[in-house]
A and B are shown apart, each in its own frame.
Chain A
Amino acid sequence: MNTETKWVPVIGLEVHCELSTATKLFCACPNTFGSEPNTNVCPVCLGLPGSLPVLNARAVEFALRLAEALNFDVPARSVFARKNYFYPDMPKDYQVTQFELPILQDGTIDVDGVPIEIERAHLEEDTGKSTHIGGAGRIHEAEYSLIDYNRAGVPLLEIVSRPDIRSAEQARGYASELRAVLLAIGISDVKMEEGSMRVDANISLRASESDEFGVKVEIKNMNSLRSLGRAITHEIERQAAALDAGETIVQETRHWDESENRTSGMRSKEGSSDYRYFPEPDLVPVAPTDEQRDAVRNSLPELPAHRRYRLVEEWGVSLSDARILVDAPGLADYAEAAVAALNQGSARDVVNMCTGDLLAYTNETGRIPDEVPLTPTGLAELADLVGDGTLSRSLAQEVFADCVESRKNPRAVVEERGLAQVSDTGELATIIDTVLASHSDAIAQYHAGDDKERKKKRGFLMGEAMKASKGKGNPQLLNQLLDERLA
């Protein structure tokens, strides 16, 4: 029996997402990323003696949105607890979190047709951020450390799946779908690179003939979906190899090193893991009212799974294109606005432009679709120019690049550069005849060759014809004329 069938991976994911509330979880400090260190702080988030937390009602509302999206149970009351441990970037030396009674319980998320159960989701405050100077950036060897408390008190929702995930691919699908949902309901930026969504994985291997779970290893520090998948694959292989060699797995936390493509054991924060949880006496239980839940239910936007399905139905695009549109922040909104503005163009062209050039542009520039110099109406105009035959698709790509560069609209660019497609049959026929006249050897080879050879020569002649038309020839007409001549 080989390794793949001998061991069954048992994977659970813990996702921490920063909620995009305007203020922190327990005080009125701004919840923003990238400010000068220690500027978004006050007595409460610095944990100064005598200060008291007050729960941000918006954070509760955000959790309730997730409850509606993923069918969580919302207990009548949930309770905050203190998790006690000493760490310098935690101002009170305890973290206010939820322990026995979380705000959300028992949700489900559909991952490529498979329902994955989510055990719980709870609210908690983030810690500050330490930068260790010297000693390879580790606290114990550092010469000194700098602490930025801007992040201290930022609201987090920790979403804990059941250990129902069986592969790296499924784990990636789970994280991807969860990210899409969090984005769609507008409660988090879910930027893994910036840390506003952090995914930790608990992995163990179970012998396929046994019901007994193996020893669990937690892996951290995956800052993209790709590295999540790679880290899990690597960890499964590492554990399988160890078990195959008769070794035992040590329960530990391991750190994913993207550049080395491996996990390594981490030094634990404190010797003991006894956090001495007890109910936070400075806060009252959270008891969402029916009115609150109704308000959230009535204002919930369309969820990603439904939207993908709808786009496939309405536009006839592939599921994978629909997924790209829906999963990238703001892209589906942009595409829908563009499609709504179409005249002669096709939704398919809009989708191709969005998932192609537009997405490449946003990825490259770090902008969101809303900030792209070409508006949805402009993109619709470009698709119309393709639709009415003015532009070939390849010319449309050039016009797109020009539009985002010059901030001009597509028609203006086409006119200025004289890019309009040539569809005059007489003019195109002249071009074809000139090309054929100067490539008689190619024509001979075409007629003598097998299918493969014919295809090759035909492609060559078409390319020459297009070149001769300076790229403006209507490709369909050129093809048609060429076929007629070669027949």
Chain B
Amino acid sequence: MDRAYEIAASVRSGERSAREVIDGYLDNVAARNDELNALLLVSADAARASADAIDAVVAQGKDPGPLAGVPVVLKDNLCQRGVPTTCGSRILEGWKPPYTATVVEAVIAAGGIALGKANLDEFAMGSSTENSAFGPTRNPHDPSRVPGGSSGGSAAAVAAEFAPLALGSDTGGSIRQPAALCGVVGVKPTYGRVSRYGLVAFASSLDQIGPFATSVSDAALLLDAISGHDRRDSTSFADQLIPVAPSLNEGVAGLRVGVIEELTNGEGVAPEVRAAVSAAAAALEAAGAIIEMVSLPSTQFGLSAYYMIAPAEASSNLARYDGVRYGLRVDGDDLSTMNERTRDAGFGAEVKRRIMLGTYALSAGYYDAYYGRAQRVRTLITRDFDRVYENCDVLLSPTSPTTAFKLGDRTADPMAMYQSDVCTIPTNLAGHPAMSLPWGKGADGMPVGVQVLAPALGEPTMFRAARVIEDAAP
């Protein structure tokens, strides 16, 4: 499996052409995308043209950048000028954004090549990619199983070697959980580290874009390329950020690592997942880290708080899909009938469920009991993390309580589906960074993921710990 940094190095040196690289990956896509449905759109011609342009830059003796010739898959909720962006929904039918997301601009500016748009749960709402209006994505390790979600298409694309890198978005675990289920590395950066401009919003206070890769170093390469202040996103950090790549291999000697009791030994966590976390902790200890069990009692309320806050914001963010300006329109005798018919036909069941949940949570008379209380829980969770981080540098937990489940297993029971994100949601509520990386396989032969968490802007330390775990992983 080629690493992105190796590809970039060989393209920059002229050893390999970007065209040769992209053709190789496009062959992989052609061989398996029909089966996996990881990509909703393959920009083959544009990607080849970009590759040729990069080769021309190299031929002129210039440097195309740190991602020179590296194909990158984009989750289909990231805007790219003139390229259809569906968010896995019928409601955006035919919509082509007239502008490009900041992260996509950054990838292209660094020499990366946008290869195609990846499938996702509709508007990033889901944990299995079964909520896509364009059919589910299948897990490359076992096509009868889900890849996780909502960035299931991005995770499956990297696992199936459609591209060495992909971008996803993580609102409650939508990068880390599919990374775990597909056996790849997935990173949810600190809220504000990466610009959200051009990411179609699900829940604005929780959404964050991050990388998928087959290695920690590759994830670092992509994260550093997309991080930084963007004046178009008021919530992005204005300060200079410390990149993660330079300190990647500095080891973990003396690092204090806390294993989160509630998430690791909690109900519903599969024994093999628990064992993976213990083994990863042991590997860190062997490399000189200090391990202790820590308690984050408020995290048990994370799921409930999340399912108030995220739907509340979503109910507002998704109001604009009303048939008036773009996307689907189903005509009606008057304006409100047109609005209703459009939204009824355009949105899937899970999106409707969350819009209703969120509308209710914000309603007069219920706001304090639901949205208001959920925000207080969010504060408690953040305080819990702050307390634990006084004595720990990073934390460890499972990413997903189980390995990849079968398609259809949880679609009838939304609560069972929501449980998939119990370990990842607290990080989003706190705005902290976390990443998932593979640690062997379960009894079912499916990948297991462990999660490394860090305080806000603690990515450099988080990546150092991840590198050590990666090296020790079976």
CB within 8 Å of B: which residues of A?
Answer: 43, 46-55, 82, 84, 86, 88, 91-94, 139-140, 147, 274, 276-278, 281-284
Contacts and interface: CB of A to CB of B under 8 A. Distances in A.
A48 B97 CA distance: 8
Chain A contact surface mostly:
loop
Chain B contact surface mostly:
loop
B335 A278 contact: no
Interface in B213-253: 231-235
B87 A88 contact: no
B320 A92 contact: yes
B199 interface: yes
6 contacts: A49-B79, A49-B97, A50-B197, A52-B196, A54-B232, A276-B316
Contacts of A284: 234-235
Contact of A282 (B235, B325, B371): B235
B359 A276 contact: yes
B319 interface: yes
Contacts of A140: 334-335
B201 interface: yes
A281 B204 contact: yes
Quick one: which of B78, B203, B322 has the most chain A CB within 10 A?
B322
Given A281-B205, A282-B235, A50 B316 contact: no
A49 B92 contact: yes
A92 B324 CA distance: 11
Interface of B: 77-79, 85, 87, 92, 95, 97-99, 101, 196-201, 203-205, 231-235, 312-313, 315-316, 319-320, 322, 324-326, 334-336, 339, 359, 362-364, 367, 371
Nearest to A282: B204
Contacts of B359: 276
Contacts of A278: 312-313, 316, 362, 367, 371
A484 to B, nearest CB: 82
Given A52-B232, A284-B234, A86 B197 contact: no
Contacts of A82: 316
Contact of A94 (B199, B203, B316): B316
B99 A84 contact: no
Nearest to B199: A50
A286 to B, nearest CB: 11
A86 B316 contact: no
A86 B101 contact: no
Given A49-B92, A86-B336, A93 B232 contact: no
A91 B325 contact: yes
B374 to A, nearest CB: 11
A55 B231 CA distance: 10
A282 B363 CA distance: 20
Quick one: which of A49, A54, A277 has the most chain B CB within 10 A?
A49
B234 A282 contact: yes
B323 to A, nearest CB: 9
B200 A43 contact: no
A92 B312 contact: no
Contacts of B233: 52, 54
Contacts of A92: 319-320
Contacts of A50: 77-79, 85, 97, 99, 101, 197-201
A51 B197 contact: yes
Contact of B313 (A47, A86, A88, A281): A281
B320 A47 contact: yes
Contact of A283 (B234, B319, B362): B234
Contacts of B79: 49-50
Contacts of B319: 84, 86, 92-94
B81 to A, nearest CB: 10
Contacts of B197: 50-52
A191 B469 CA distance: 67
Contacts of B235: 52, 281-284
Given A50-B79, A282-B234, A276 B97 contact: no
Quick one: which of A52, A84, A147 has the most chain B CB within 10 A?
A52
A258 B117 CA distance: 56
B101 A93 contact: no
Nearest to B207: A281
A88 B339 CA distance: 10
A86 B204 CA distance: 20
A82 B371 CA distance: 14
A92 B201 CA distance: 12
A51 B232 CA distance: 8
Contacts of B334: 140
Quick one: which of A50, A54, A94 has the most chain B CB within 10 A?
A50
Nearest to B92: A49
A49 B320 contact: yes
A217 to B, nearest CB: 22
Given A49-B201, A50-B97, A282-B204, A276 B92 contact: no
Contacts of A281: 203-205, 235, 313
Contacts of B234: 52-55, 282-284
B316 to A, nearest CB: 5
A140 B97 CA distance: 31
A284 B200 CA distance: 19
B295 to A, nearest CB: 30
Please name the 4 residue pairs, one residue from A and one from B, whose CB atoms are nearest each other, closest first. Answer: A93-B319, A281-B205, A276-B362, A281-B204
B21 to A, nearest CB: 29
Given A49-B87, A52-B233, A274-B363, A88 B335 contact: yes
A82 B232 CA distance: 19
